[in-house]
Amino acid sequence: MSTSGQPQFRYTQTPSKVLHLRNLPWECIEEELIELCKPFGKIVNTKCNVGANRNQAFVEFTDLNQAINMVTYYASSSEPAQVRGKTVYIQYSNRHEIVNNKGPGDVPGNVLLVTIEGVEAGDVSIDVIHLVFSAFGFVHKIATFEKAADHVGSCHLRISYSAHTDLNIKFQSHRSRDYTNPYLPVNPTAIEGFAQPAVGPDGKKKEPESTVLLASIENMQYAVTVDVLHTVFSAFGTVQKIAIFEKNGGTQALIQYPDVTTAAVAKDALEGHCIYDGGYCKLHLSYSRHTDLNVKAFSDKSRDYTIPESSLLAMQQAPTAWENRPPAPMYQGSEFGAGGAVPGQAPGGQVPSWDPNMQAGRPNFVSAPGTFCSQTYAPSASAYAVASHQPNVGPGGASPPGQPPYYR
DNA sequence: AGCACA
Residues with CB under 7 A from strand B: A 8-10, 13, 18, 20, 22-23, 47, 50-51, 53, 55-56, 58, 89, 91-95, 97-101, 103-104
**A279 alpha carbon, distance to own chain's centre:** 33
Q: Answer whether A18-92 and A112-190 agree in fold.
A: yes
CATH of A112-190, one of 3.40.430.10, 3.20.20.70, 3.60.21.10, 3.30.70.330: 3.30.70.330
Residue nearest to nucleotide B6 (CA to C1'): A103
Q: What is the pLDDT of residue A205?
A: 60
Q: What is the pLDDT of residue A123?
A: 81
Task: Point out which residues pair with A302 in neighbouring strands.
Answer: A243
- A202: buried, middle or exposed (CB in 10 Å: 19+, 13-18, 0-12)? exposed
Distance CA A10, CA A13 (A): 5
- Residue–nucleotide distance: A46 CA to B2 C1' (Å): 19
Nearest nucleotide over every DNA/RNA strand to the A18 CA, judged by C1'? B3
Are A252 and A285 in contact by the 8 Å Cβ rule? The answer is: no
Distance CA A253, CA A251 (A): 7
Q: What is the pLDDT of residue A375?
A: 38
Q: What is the pLDDT of residue A365?
A: 54
- Residue–nucleotide distance: A165 CA to B5 C1' (Å): 23
- Residue–nucleotide distance: A32 CA to B6 C1' (Å): 26
- Residue–nucleotide distance: A131 CA to B4 C1' (Å): 34
Q: What is the pLDDT of residue A175?
A: 84
* Residues in contact with A79: Cβ distance below 8 Å, sequence separation at least 6, in sequence order: none
Chain B positions under 7 Å from a protein CB?
1-6
- Residue–nucleotide distance: A104 CA to B6 C1' (Å): 11
Q: What is the pLDDT of residue A104?
A: 65
User: Is domain A212-304 classified as CATH 3.40.50.170?
Assistant: no
Name the CATH topology of A18-92: Alpha-Beta Plaits (3.30.70)
Q: Where are the domains of chain A?
A: 18-92, 112-190, 212-304
Residue nearest to nucleotide B4 (CA to C1'): A50
Q: Where are the beta strands (DSSP E) in A205-264?
A: 212-218, 241-247, 250-256
- A357: buried, middle or exposed (CB in 10 Å: 19+, 13-18, 0-12)? exposed
Nearest nucleotide over every DNA/RNA strand to the A45 CA, judged by C1'? B4
Residue nearest to nucleotide B2 (CA to C1'): A22
Q: What is the pLDDT of residue A95?
A: 94
Distance CA A307, CA A227 (A): 16
Mean pLDDT, 10 residues at a time, chain A of 408 residues: 46 87 94 96 94 94 96 94 96 91 70 81 85 91 76 67 82 86 73 46 70 94 92 94 91 95 94 91 94 90 88 60 39 35 40 37 44 42 38 40 37
